[in-house]
Amino acid sequence: MDGLKNQYDWIRRTREVLFTYCESLAPSDYVKELESFGGDSIRNLHAHVADCYRTWLGIMTLGKPIPHVQLESVQTVQDMRKIFKETDEVVYDFLDEFKGKWDQAIHVDFSDDNSAKTTPLWLVTHTMTHEFHHKGQIVKIGRQLGYVPPDTDLLDPRSEGENL
């Protein structure tokens, strides 16, 4: 069993619940920027989450030339699903690269010529918890726009059956 891959699979299934919810929103509400959230929109937060995975795991750690998400190219939830499909590939590449080496000290390079020493476990934990932080904000924005969100916590293990 690969614990971190299983964990990321749970996160992806939970993200699917959020995407399904977002598809129930008016398309204009998905991209609507709210002053109460510093001008962010649900789409902008989704893009930020994808960029976090792509930047920390793909660009800074694996050295992949991955472009940042361009907001103007993402107008629908379907567009964002495509971004996350690409992002999932980056995450799985990272998980494969560091399998069994989670406590190995590695350097990550920042774009401003700074670097830091950390571990793959810290990096994957940071990106996963970062997604859940912003998932809560996305749900809150939806509520402010008048939508009732589903439960977006990790899926209930009783619904997982054999997958546990």
- In the chain, what are the domains? 3-153 (1.20.120.450)
Calculated CA dihedral for residues 78, 83, 87, 88, nearest 10 degrees: 20
What is d(CA 127, CA 19) in angstroms, rounded to the nearest whole number? 18
Q: How far apart are CA 127 and CA 104, in angstroms?
A: 18
**In the predicted structure, residue 151 carries a pLDDT above the cut 90:** no
Tell me the percentage of the chain whose pLDDT exceeds 90. 77
Write down the pLDDT at residue 164: 45
Q: How confident is the model at residue 155 (pLDDT cuts 50, 70, 90)?
A: low
Q: How far from 143 is each of 6, 27, 148, CA to CA, in Å?
A: 30, 15, 6
The predicted pLDDT at position 162 comes to 47
Residue found by looking up tokens 């699979």 in the block? 9
pLDDT, tens digit, for every residue of 101-145? Answer: 999 999 887 766 777 899 999 999 999 999 999 999 999 999 999
Helix pair 42-53, 77-97: axis angle to 10 deg:
20
Distance from C-alpha of 47 to C-alpha of 49, rounded to nearest angstrom: 5
The separation between CA 160 and the C-alpha centre of its own chain, rounded to angstroms, equals 21
* pLDDT for 156 beyond 80: no
